[in-house]
Structure formats: structure tokens, C-alpha cells
Amino acid sequence: AQTVTQSQPEMSVQEAETVTLSCTYDTSESDYYLFWYKQPPSRQMILVIRQEAYKQQNATENRFSVNFQKAAKSFSLKISDSQLGDAAMYFCAYPRTGNQFYFGTGTSLTVIP
């Protein structure tokens, strides 16, 4: 079975500092995508960043970057220069079939002014 695990239910970070959110997954596939989604208080899910497994280079989107360790099946999200607007639930996601996603249990991020 393919599963996604987020071991940090809650995290906090000081504004302007850096925080890393952890995610591990289980799959027997060799080529796949991984995603981090953000769910702010407004509740609409927003894509943060996407990683393609066949690419060795870690994905980066402005202040957001990932540390993708394929052999370890680890996919952590690093947020640099944290801003108040980064406060949200963050979900790691893996598409099991097409666009049927497995979601992790989420990490609630608090940004301290």
C-alpha cells in the first residue's frame, strides 16, 4: 500500500526564520510525482511545490524548496524567510493513481511575529 506520513502535527517558526516540514512516503513505483499543498484558514488547498521523482534536482519555488531523498522516500519542505502568511496546514501528497491523491495527516505551521 502506498501511504504518506507526516510526523509533525504542529510546528512553529519565528518570522523571517527557516522551518522544515517532514514527509515520508511509501511506494513501489519508480517514477512519480510528489506535492506539497497549503491549506490556509480560508480552507482552499493551494499547491506549494511539486517534485518529479526522476529529477535528481530538488524543486524550488521562491522561498519554498524541497529536500527529496528518493532512496529514503523522504520529501521535506523548507520554508525560508518565513512570513505571517505562511501560517497554514501543510499537506504532503502522493498521487496513487492518476490524480487520486494520498494525503499526509498534515502539519499545522504557526508563524510567530
Partner 1 sequence: GAVVSQHPSWVICKSGTSVKIECRSLDFQATTMFWYRQFPKQSLMLMATSNEGSKATYEQGVEKDKFLINHASLTLSTLTVTSAHPEDSSFYICSASPGGMGNTGELFFGEGSRLTVL
CB 36 within 8 A of CB 92: yes
Residue nearer to partner 1 on the CB measure, 28 or 42: 42
One residue of 1, 71, 99, 113 binding partner 1 per CB under 8 A:
99
User: What type of residue sits at position 25?
Assistant: Y
CB of 16 to partner 1, least distance (A): 27
For residue 68, state whether it binds partner 1 (rule: CB under 8 A): no
CA 61 to chain centre: 12
Counting residues that bind partner 1 (by CB under 8 A) gives: 24
CB of 111 to partner 1, least distance (A): 18
Could you give the string, one character per residue 16-55, with x where binding to partner 1 holds by CB under 8 A and - elsewhere? ----------------xx-x-x----xxxxxx--x-----
Instruction: Give the E-state strand segments of the chain in sequence order.
Output: 3-5, 10-14, 19-21, 24-26, 33-39, 46-52, 60-61, 64-69, 74-79, 88-97, 100-103, 107-112
Residue nearer to partner 1 on the CB measure, 18 or 104: 104
Give me the half-sphere count of Cα atoms (radius 13 Å) on the Cβ side of residue 7: 8
User: What type of residue sits at position 1?
Assistant: A
Contacts to partner 1 by CB under 8 A: 32-33, 35, 37, 42-47, 50, 91, 93, 95, 97-101, 103-106, 108
